[in-house]
């Protein structure tokens, strides 16, 4: 290996495959780094499709079995962008072969699986990360800074909604995301896990929770994801059972005494990817919404009377985390940049021998 290269092998190549591939390609363009990612190989079960994906996304080669990717000596990192039931087997095999590892969220199907994955990275001394990319929106990173500086004081409330609507049509097929044996859970693990990660990052550890779940559409036609959050069905007459939650709501108490209220649903009509939170502290509040991800609403209780209220900050100034690598202030960035920032930390962690976060420990706690 060229000392300055980190050679990537990626398992899967659809929605998240595209996001990760793009991020590896853009990283050296925007950021000065000691290392350069090399898009060595991807794997997928369908040779025609995986070859086409490799060509389109700029990968040097492909394999039709992920095990072969792990055997290859010209690969340093395994990146897992396949459905949740595959994460544990692939990750454990990869780290036992000495590869650094990054996997999409949620870490695993069960707590037991997640524990085995965490034990494996500990025993094999590799760098590990889980892809909770929303932490890496500059406005979220800036919120963390405000909290650490004590600008909000003691935190009283963390209030998060993650609202989508892509499965509301009862004819939307029974894809892997709706089968418990493949996904582990529904809205909870698919999108609620991101809110849980933001809460742990910004407020701290959970102490206790109480929740309710609902599945509104209990049977659907059999079908497959077809890229992004779209799906297709060849046979709309035979129905299968939905075995995960369509929606979840829960209350939480944090170890530091703050209260949390959470909602995650894929039945909130009109909300395409409304991942938002509000934090209320003794000295101030912040509000963030992924659909306007560059903006942060901030309120400080010690502002002059008469001028008090939420102010809108466009987090694109050079002083805001990561944004100096891009454009002049006001020239906004987007969804794909959250992945660039996360992979920047991952590759730097490997190059400079530190363990970045969020990692498998965060995935296990989540
Ligand atoms: N970070 C985020 O915001 C985010 C967003 C979407 C999905 N995800 C996560 O990313 C992962 C992949 O989701 P996606 O939306 O990209 O899915 P997808 O359905 O778009 O793509 C899945 C890929 O895995 C392959 N695959 C499916 N089953 C496989 C198997 N048994 N063995 C090997 N390959 C298999 C498919 O061919 C495809 O390339 C999931 O864990 C999901 O929870 C994260």
Ligand 1 center to 104 CA (angstroms): 8
Report pLDDT digits (tens) over 148-186: 999 999 999 999 999 999 999 999 999 999 999 999 999
Q: 13 CA distance to ligand 1 centroid (A)?
A: 8
- C-beta 134 within 6 A of ligand 1: no
Q: Which of 10, 87, 131, 31 is nearest to 351 (CA)?
A: 31
Q: Is the CB of 82 under 6 A from ligand 1?
A: yes
Measured in angstroms, how far is the CA atom of residue 165 from the centroid of ligand 1? 19
State whether the beta carbon of 43 lies less than 6 angstroms from ligand 1. Answer: no
Mean pLDDT across the stretch 221-236?
Answer: 88
Residue with the nearest Cα to atom 36 of ligand 1? 12
Tell whether ligand 1 has an atom less than 6 A from the beta carbon of residue 53.
Answer: no
Q: What is the pLDDT of residues 12-59, one digit of tens each?
A: 999 999 999 999 999 999 999 999 999 999 999 999 999 999 999 999
- Mean confidence (pLDDT) of the chain: 97
173 lines ligand 1 (CB under 6 A): no
- The angle at the Cα of 345, spanning 104 to 288, to the nearest 5 degrees, equals 70
Q: Which of 82, 87, 103 to mutate to test the pocket of ligand 1 (most atoms within 8 A of CB)?
A: 82
Q: What percent of the chain has pLDDT over 90?
A: 96
Judge if the beta carbon of residue 335 lies within 6 A of ligand 1. no
pLDDT for res 262: 98
Ligand 1 centroid to residue 4 C-alpha, Å: 29
What is the tens place of the pLDDT at every residue in 320-366?
Answer: 999 999 999 999 999 999 999 999 999 999 999 999 999 999 999 99
The encoded tokens of residue 46 equal 């369908």
**Of residues 333, 342, 263, the one with CA closest to residue 295:** 333
Q: How many Å lie between the centroid of ligand 1 and the Cα of residue 78?
A: 14
pTM of the model as a whole: 0.97
DSSP 256-267: TS-EEEEEEES-
In the reported structure, the alpha carbon of residue 14 is separated from the centroid of ligand 1 by a whole-number distance in angstroms of 7
Query: With a 6 A CB cut-off, is 185 part of the ligand 1 pocket?
Result: no
- DSSP letter at 50? H
Residue nearest to atom 35 of ligand 1 (CA): 82
Tell me the pLDDT tens digit for each residue of 64-85: 999 999 999 999 999 999 999 9
C-alpha span between 257 and 253 (Å, rounded) = 6
pLDDT band at 237 (very low <50, low <70, confident <90, very high): confident
Q: What is the SS3 assignment for 107-149?
A: CCCCHHHHHHHHHHHHHHCCCEEECCHHHHCHHHHHHHHHHHC
Contact 14 CB / ligand 1 (< 6 Å) = yes
* Backbone angles phi and psi of 256, in degrees to 5: -85, 10
Residue nearest to atom 4 of ligand 1 (CA): 16
pLDDT above 60: residue 313: yes
Reading the block at residue 306, the tokens are 């008469």
pLDDT at 216 over 80: yes
Q: What is the residue with the minimal CA distance to atom 6 of ligand 1?
A: 16
Q: Is 339 exposed, middle or buried (0-12, 13-18, 19+ CB in 10 A)?
A: buried
- 109 in Cβ contact with 88 (< 8 Å): yes
DSSP string, 321-360: TTGGGS-STT----HHHHHHHHHHHHHHHHHHT---SS-H
- Is the CB of residue 229 below 6 angstroms from any atom belonging to ligand 1? no
pLDDT digits (tens, 9 = 90+) for 132-144: 999 999 999 999 9
CA 186 – CA 273 distance, rounded (Å): 15
Ligand 1 contact, 63 CB (< 6 A): no
Residues β-bridged to residue 37: 6
For residue 3, what pLDDT is reported? 64
> Is pLDDT of 2 > 70?
no
Q: What is the mean pLDDT of residues 231-247?
A: 91
Ligand 1 atom closest to residue 190's alpha carbon, by position in its atom list = 43
Handedness of CA 256, 261, 266, 270 (dihedral sign): negative
pLDDT at 326: 97
């Amino acid at each position: 290996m060229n000392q300055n290269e980190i050679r990537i092998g990626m398992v899967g190549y659809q929605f998240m495959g595209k996001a990760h591939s793009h991020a590896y390609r853009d990283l050296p363009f925007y950021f000065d780094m000691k290392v350069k990612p090399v898009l060595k190989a991807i794997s997928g079960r369908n040779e025609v499709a995986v070859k086409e994906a490799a060509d389109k996304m700029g990968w040097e080669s492909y394999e039709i079995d992920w095990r072969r990717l792990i055997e290859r000596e010209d690969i340093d990192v395994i990146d897992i962008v396949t459905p949740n039931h595959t994460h544990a087997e692939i990750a454990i095999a990869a780290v036992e072969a000495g590869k650094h590892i990054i996997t999409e969220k949620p870490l695993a199907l069960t707590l037991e699986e997640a524990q085995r994955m965490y034990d494996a990275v500990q025993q094999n001394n590799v760098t590990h990360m889980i892809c909770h990319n929303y932490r890496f929106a500059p406005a979220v990173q800036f919120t963390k800074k405000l909290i650490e500086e004590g600008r909000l004081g003691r935190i009283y409330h963390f209030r998060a909604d993650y609202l989508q609507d892509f499965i509301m049509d009862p004819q939307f097929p029974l894809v892997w995301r709706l089968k418990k044996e493949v996904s582990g859970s529904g809205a909870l693990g698919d999108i609620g896990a991101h809110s849980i990660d933001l809460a742990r990052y910004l407020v701290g550890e959970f102490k206790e929770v109480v929740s309710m779940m609902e599945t509104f559409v209990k049977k659907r036609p059999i079908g497959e994801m077809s890229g992004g959050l779209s799906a297709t069905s060849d046979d709309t007459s035979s129905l299968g059972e939905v075995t995960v939650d369509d929606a979840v709501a829960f209350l939480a108490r944090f170890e530091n005494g703050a209260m949390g209220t959470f909602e995650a649903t894929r039945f909130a009509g009109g909300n395409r990817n409304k991942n938002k939170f509000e934090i209320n502290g003794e000295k101030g509040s912040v509000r963030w919404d992924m659909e306007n991800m560059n903006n942060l609403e901030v309120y400080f209780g010690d502002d002059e009377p008469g001028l008090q209220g939420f102010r809108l900050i466009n987090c694109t100034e050079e002083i805001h985390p990561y944004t100096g690598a891009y454009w002049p202030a006001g020239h906004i960035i987007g969804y794909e940049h959250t992945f660039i920032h996360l992979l920047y930390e991952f590759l730097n962690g490997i190059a400079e021998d530190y363990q970045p976060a969020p990692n498998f420990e965060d995935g296990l706690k989540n």
